[in-house]
Chains A and B, each alone.
Chain A
């Protein structure tokens, strides 16, 4: 009982503290690949800290949805992160739900963000909500099919079971279903975190912005919560990818030494994935909005193929 509480507290603290660092590190890597100096790795912490101390402007037209959304987004994302193995194959809350819970906790947060975008009645908010929903309508099935592929291999949608069974098999990640599902998830990661071929996180240009348009009316502590949730969501998706597909060094229990070792492994894998994302971001141009569904359709076809190939190769 106390062990479980410690596990929950440890992973929650780790996710909360690590997620801005991952965002900052991604920006740093991207800047370095572009031969810029860029902001420091710790900049997201400073941004969040600054925003938390500022005053807030709430539009007169806003209803309760506008005020509830930041908290809801923050809590659902944090809960989703506790369902995924991070430093131990036994995720702290894995008894409460599997991968479906993760996907739909994230979807709940997105749904309320879109509602909040519409709520203020500003035209940009509605535009952002409509775009976000268009993209997630295709990204979500791709994500689901990809995780189902993994779940079929393990015989369970519980991510701890999946990670444990993945630990037991050598060369598992070479299976075509795993590779294809990973490729599909990579595209979904790019789309869901608003990276460059899909969205540009560093501009506020009305023609292109998606996520930024929805949260345009937020300021102060609410904005801090939303930015923090966005960072956590990115970490959640990355955790899902590295620990479910490449569970090297993942500890099978919560003994302190094993957890420290698997934390080191986890950071290494995260670094490699961030590097891949940075390279994709630097080497691509932003897509036209109407081309984005085509990219996501590729992800969908890849994950459908992944699912089919588990049967095709009788593996």
Chain B
């Protein structure tokens, strides 16, 4: 048996990638440049695709491979490319302007991670036998943390495009939770979700462009002003 067929090794790799996903999420919260943010999101999605791929490999589950491929195509390649082109096209000032400053953001992020840990603790069963089927169960805390931090990021930002990115990274958290707890959803649901994300991403990209055209800014606080 080669070392990469050992589920113990697979578990290590999944845990490691999940940790990197969390690091990238925290990097996205504190990062000031939109382009770097988009690339961090692309890398995060790529890592999630890798996690899905690893789980599929150890469980011999073809439909998880499909989910991994969708993830790679839609969220790691297509959407980042679309967003980068959008950023270049509307020539925005590339600095993100969050509402609270970086140190407080980091503290809030830490607290949200702890909250995620407390929630996920309830689902933890240490007596569970170690095997391919239980791979990735320990990433639930990370999934919940991604979800919470994504939500915080959405609230914390002024500009439409960065809010879209936050929404997508929140969706990454849901993907991780689904894949770590249930081997992913049925194929048809999976396809539906990715189609949904793709369309949402595209529509939001157009919406962002329209907001920018109409208000000369992506700052969503200006949307409440009346325009003659």
CB <8 Å contact, B18 and A311: no
CB <8 Å contact, B19 and A179: yes
CB <8 Å contact, A171 and B22: no
- Among B19, B26, B117, B124, the residue within 8 A (CB) of A176 is B19
Interface centre among A301, A311, A312 (most CB of B within 10 A): A312
- Among A171, A180, A304, A305, the residue within 8 A (CB) of B12 is A171
CB <8 Å contact, A305 and B117: no
Q: Report the tally of A-B residue pairs with Cβ distances under 8 A.
A: 59
Q: Say whether A308 faces chain B, with CB atoms less than 8 Å apart.
A: yes
CB <8 Å contact, B12 and A313: no
Interface centre among B12, B18, B103, B110 (most CB of A within 10 A): B12
Q: Say whether A314 faces chain B, with CB atoms less than 8 Å apart.
A: yes
Which of A266-315 touch B at CB < 8 Å?
297, 301-302, 304-305, 308-309, 311-315
Which of A160-195 touch B at CB < 8 Å?
170-171, 174-177, 179-180
What is the bound-complex CA distance between A168 and B110, given in angstroms?
Answer: 32
Chain A neighbourhood of B141, CB < 8 A: 312-313
Closest to A300 in B: B106
Main secondary structure of the interface of B (DSSP, over half): helix
What is the bound-complex CA distance between A179 and B20, given in angstroms?
Answer: 10
Chain A neighbourhood of B18, CB < 8 A: 176, 313
Interface centre among B22, B26, B145 (most CB of A within 10 A): B22
CB <8 Å contact, A176 and B106: no
Chain A neighbourhood of B9, CB < 8 A: 171
In the assembled complex, 25 residue pairs joining A and B whose CB atoms fall closer than 8 Å, in A order, are: A170-B8, A174-B12, A174-B13, A175-B12, A175-B16, A176-B15, A176-B16, A179-B16, A180-B23, A297-B103, A297-B106, A302-B23, A305-B26, A305-B113, A308-B110, A311-B117, A312-B113, A312-B116, A312-B120, A312-B142, A313-B18, A313-B141, A314-B126, A314-B138, A315-B15
User: Can you name 4 extra interface pairs (CB under 8 A) apart from A305-B23, A308-B110?
Assistant: A176-B20, A308-B113, A309-B22, A313-B138
- Give A contacts to B, CB under 8 Å: 170-171, 174-177, 179-180, 297, 301-302, 304-305, 308-309, 311-315
